[in-house]
Structure 1
């Protein structure tokens, strides 16, 4: 990522160029990203190719002011952090589903980030509703965040962990919990961004993928709530948990919400693709 792309990316999320890659800077960039860059799977239903190449991710998220799902969002955010001097590793994860079942390898992409003032941090701007701020990677106790109470523990040892289907943990794997429920299992071996292409392909093409079966566009709001557009259903969730749900009637209304609430300009309404 060149200097012009970095400046444009920072402008996209409303941040200034930092002097040093510190934890405070990481926290600020992480929160700004969640508030401005939507978690969305619209490309799948618009027939757009999902390419895990740094230049194309920058063109999409920065140039076209779009969002993406985990591979795209954490992929491009990791590239920005690297350009700013952070030590970044791409980590593969398997997401917990129903009854404690783990998803496929490369099911999710998260970041381990080291800062100049010490410590390693779990940064994740591509999981939808997750922590608002990076989590301390080596901390094994509860970590209170505006998005919930989180724990990072050795795989299979977390309090209240369900029985895992599909094999036991490999040595060194970590389970990430939110409010007592497991979210995903992290592998510790750093990966290249290109290694996640198989996961992106599966989630964008398989009939079993929830990304293929539904539409989502969601971001954190300034007050810590969340706004989500799923098809024609608009949901605004307040900090205290209150929810307002409304159904949009026309294509014009849908396109206006994408434009005004998410900053996404579309020339047609995305529709879940069949088959």
Structure 2
């Protein structure tokens, strides 16, 4: 006996319902967007005026019309590093390696994308950084760039970038100059010069220290000589005799055996002939 094929009998309108559900599912999937942490979104209205600059959408689940597109960008602080070839004040080529911290203005994200495009870092930030770096580095010599001017250069580049990006809906928060690379010959010359300057300062310090020590010893010797002079002037023969008598009386009271000859010493002072 042959097997009969199984037949499914859909109710009237069943196929239409399934098709409708599939269409609704597709429309729903096209209409929902999830914006991640630290991100913001703006809507591109396909049948409207393009980017909607009135509203920035925050983190979480968002619903948009299926014919529109949600553009999502990071709105938290970000950083970009770059290495630029710039010229110093004397025309020497210098390579500056730096990092920039920036963030878009959240409420003006739509205006930023509408005026500068989705790739606004390349269109707006990179040219501003390069222009500021060239302007600032061009004010200094290689020696200044290599040694003591690093923090000043960072602040001046930051100031320049903020002026360039004023009213451009993009804020630069900080500039860090990681490294300044000079040609090897220039770098070696600067290091040799700095070493010689350090040795010269050390030599001058030693000379100054020795000079102060000599002055101290001279003052000490002069003080002792003056004290001896004053003491010698005050020691008359009478005072010396009195001091001799005092010493004799103390010795006479000592338990050690001795012979004291009174009046036999120079200037009539006693002579001690014996002791223990």
- TM-score bracket relative to the smaller structure: under 0.3
Which of structures 1 and 2 has the larger relative contact order (alpha carbons within 8 angstroms, sep 6+)?
Answer: 1
Question: TM-score, length-normalised on structure 2?
Answer: 0.21
TM-score scaled by structure 1?
Answer: 0.21
Q: Which has the larger radius of gyration?
A: 2
